[in-house]
Structure 1
Amino acid sequence: MLKKNIIIFLIPLFMAVFILSNPIKSLAAKKITFIKLKIPFAVEVPDGKWIDPWKNACEEATITMIDQYYQGKNKLTNAEAKKLMLPIFTLENELFGFNKDTNAEETMQFINKFLSFTATIKENPTLDEIKNELMVKRPVISMHYGFELNNPALRFRQDGSSYHMMVISGFDDAKKEFIVQDSGNPKGLDFRYKYDTILKTLHDFDRITGQANGPARVLFTEPKTLVKVQNGKRIYLISKTQKQYIAHPDIFKKRGWKWANVKIVNKELLNTLTSGEPIWQ
């Protein structure tokens, strides 16, 4: 009987996870020609000053935008974005020993460890693969050789890496354009690049050469879930089949999480999940 009850409780919680984790066939079958996700935009220099660490903060701005999107926000002030981004530099320094030019692997590692969504690397993505993610409302993180984006609003030094990261948040088949959130451009909200421009400039940062000349990579994303049991005090962050205990209430404030997003789940269900590393900061 207990086993049967566990199965019954498993079905409703993981139904949502399944839908978010798998392209919906009915959407794929239907010809969708335009998508624009409402992503809260953040510029990488919230104070407008191109100084360290902000002048290389396109990665931090990108993951902040998606983190807040998955938490239900659709707008960020410069002050809010700055407050959310600042702790990321510290955590990156602790995790990697640096915070500049985090590549696909490093960015994925940081996201999966600290943020409210997960990321997986997709190498040599096709146009349809990126569009499929957007059709199920999952923004895509893209890495680029910035000079070839040919955008005069982006400030790349001639002797720099020209590495750039953006949020792909939509597409427009009529104009053959991706809609992006380009944090390096103060007017980067819902900015547009041609399909060919995005796909041809995809290059990960190569830690050995110090240049954006690595393979064509993007990060596919999906949300995690905040849960607790009825009358329980412990809150967990669930990612697929793993749970992570949130060790202190202040973590909610630091990460901009909302108590209202915490879902109640059955204790037996929670016990079926493997325990990951507790979240302490």
Structure 2
Amino acid sequence: MIMKKIVILLVLLISLSAGLYWQTPIQHWWQELNQPALPKAAVFKPAAGDSTNEEPGVQIEPSVALAPADSAAEPVKPDASQLPVAYNLDVPFTPQAPQADWNEIFKEACEEASALMVHYYYAGKIFTPETAEAEILKMVSWQKDNWGGHFDLSASRTAELITQFLGYKKIEVLDHPTIKEIKGHIFHSRPVIIPAAGRELGNPYFRSPGPVYHMLVIKGYTATQFITNDPGTKRGQDFLYDYEVLLAAMHDWDGADIEQGAKLALVIYPEK
């Protein structure tokens, strides 16, 4: 009788362990199965006067000051009725650890990966794991040479990196961006980079408990969700976040309490 109880207990323990082991893969499969169809991704087409360089260049001083969101130059105030219900940009994707090597460098490389995804979109290029890793390491090396190390980057510091290393002349800093404002930039072929409190995003693919600070790219939208390229996971391509979730999690790095960080976003303009 005792032996029978032991056998039953072992069977139950094995069943429970198997259930826990397969729980996460099953959840991932179910989420992918139920992801809605996305709008066709639009390839970037440079407007007259736009130019993009094939390779990142090093520019020691920014040639143009960063433009705040309320700048008189090219304000984005689209009429909501003029925006399509859904829109999507063909932004190439790379995780911040392109070859799944999550060492300290790549754990902190979401800013570099986000900037590179927008850069490659404007340049009409695609990533391989090797090229993505090499590009990230070049950006990290530049920071060590010029800033004395590789650290979490605030929105303004990320904008400096994009201007000085990648050579873009105009970075717009959006203060408390609205859903309509973000959509307007997307519709005008400008992806939006978002700094965020990573653990507020609720991304099931993050290694628990998730990053304290994170950065990602909004590349499109549906009627209720933003379409993102989230470099924090290999499954981050076209990852969907509810509008409210992403706006609530939007916080800039302040070096202390991420939840008190300002609600900012970055827009890179394609001109060089």
**TM-score, structure 2 normalization:** 0.69
Does residue 165 of the first structure (1) align with residue 215 of the second (2)?
yes
RMSD over equivalenced CA pairs, Å? 2.5
Secondary structure of residue in 2 paired with 1:47: coil
| 2:212 partner letter | S
Aligned residue in 1 for 2:206: 154
| 2:242 partner letter | K
Does residue 214 of the first structure (1) align with residue 261 of the second (2)?
yes
Partner Cα separation in structure 2 for residue 58 and residue 31 of structure 1: 29
Deviations 1:25-56 (A, max 9, x none): 99865241111100110111112121120111
Partner Cα separation in structure 1 for residue 173 and residue 76 of structure 2: 21
Percent of matched pairs sharing the same residue: 32
- Structure 1 residue runs without a partner (length 5+): 1-12, 226-281
Partner Cα separation in structure 1 for residue 248 and residue 145 of structure 2: 34
Query: Quick one: structure 1 residues 77 and 98, their matched pair in 2 at CA, closer, same or farther if it must change by over 3 Å?
Result: same
Deviation, 1:152, is: 2.4
Partner Cα separation in structure 2 for residue 99 and residue 53 of structure 1: 8
Aligned residue in 2 for 1:179: 227
| 1:120 partner letter | E
Does residue 130 of the first structure (1) align with residue 182 of the second (2)?
yes
Structure 1 residue aligned with 2:142, among 91, 104, 117? 91
| 1:183 partner letter | P
Partner Cα separation in structure 1 for residue 83 and residue 47 of structure 2: 27
- Structure 2 residue runs without a partner (length 5+): 1-45, 51-72
Partner Cα separation in structure 1 for residue 204 and residue 145 of structure 2: 34
Deviation, 1:23, is: 6.8
Does residue 103 of the first structure (1) align with residue 150 of the second (2)?
no
Q: Which structure is higher in RCO with an 8 Å CA cutoff and minimum separation 6?
A: 2
Partner Cα separation in structure 2 for residue 191 and residue 14 of structure 1: 28
Deviations 1:115-174 (A, max 9, x none): 14332211111111111000000000001011111112123658xx6100001000001x
Instruction: Name the structure with the higher strand share.
Output: 1
**TM-score, structure 1 normalization:** 0.67
Aligned residue in 1 for 2:100: 48
Secondary structure of residue in 1 paired with 2:241: strand
Q: Do 1:40 and 1:68's aligned partners in 2 also have CA atoms closer than 8 Å? A: yes
Greater Rg over alpha carbons, structure? 2
Does residue 79 of the first structure (1) align with residue 130 of the second (2)?
yes
